[in-house]
């Protein structure tokens, strides 16, 4: 799969993105990285330009729920990107645990999975999507 990997608007951390690129490439995926501090507008433009099969958003600075919501809303406002799978993960808030109200808002906005730091869950999500792409 071609995966667009991106940080979120307020987040300047980069080693999460380096790690995730290696993690995704190790599993045979092609990765297009937009880097850190990607606002929703740039993310949408990146998706329209690169036409990925999936978007993986990573945020660790504690603003992930808020930035992620803006990103997902912007992508879903673009008719051509309405069905593009979007996964968000990392250290998404500052509470130190999963915040269900924020997860619900993200899901309702069209985020396909909110995974926190769970790389096994990401591996499972990717495998399920890849299977769906192979015709029976």
Residue 10 or 99: the one with the smaller Cβ distance to ligand B12 is: 10
Structure tokens at 120: 């096994």
Residue 14 or 99: the one with the smaller Cβ distance to ligand B12 is: 14
Residue 56 or 106: the one with the smaller Cβ distance to ligand B12 is: 56
Question: Could you say which residues in the range 39-78 bind ligand B12, by CB under 6 A?
Answer: 56, 58, 60-62
Q: What is the 8-class DSSP label of residue 53? A: S
Q: What is the 8-class DSSP label of residue 80? A: G
- Any contact of residue 114 with ligand B12 (CB under 6 A)? no
**DSSP-assigned letters across all residues of 81-98:** GTT--EEEEES-SSSSS-
Residue 81 or 113: the one with the smaller Cβ distance to ligand B12 is: 113
> Is 90 in contact with 16 (CB distance < 8 Å)?
yes
Among 94, 104, 124, 127, binds ligand B12 (CB under 6 A): 94
Cα–Cα distance measured from residue 71 to residue 114, given in angstroms and rounded to the nearest whole number:
13
Q: Which residues bind ligand B12 (CB under 6 A)?
A: 10-16, 19-20, 56, 58, 60-62, 87, 89-91, 94, 115, 117-119, 122
């Amino acid at each position: 799969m071609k995966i667009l990997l991106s940080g979120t608007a307020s987040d300047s951390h980069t080693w999460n993105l380096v790690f995730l690129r290696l993690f995704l490439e190790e599993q045979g995926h092609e990765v297009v990285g937009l880097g850190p501090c990607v606002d929703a507008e740039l993310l949408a433009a990146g998706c329209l330009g690169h036409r990925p099969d999936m978007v993986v958003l990573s945020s660790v600075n504690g603003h992930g729920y808020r930035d992620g919501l803006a990103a997902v809303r912007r992508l879903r406002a673009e008719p051509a990107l309405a069905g593009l799978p979007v996964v968000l993960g990392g250290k998404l808030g500052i509470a130190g645990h999963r915040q269900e109200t924020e997860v619900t808002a993200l899901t309702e906005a069209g985020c396909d999975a909110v995974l926190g730091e769970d790389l096994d869950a990401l591996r499972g999500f990717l495998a399920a999507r890849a299977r769906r792409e192979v015709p029976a």
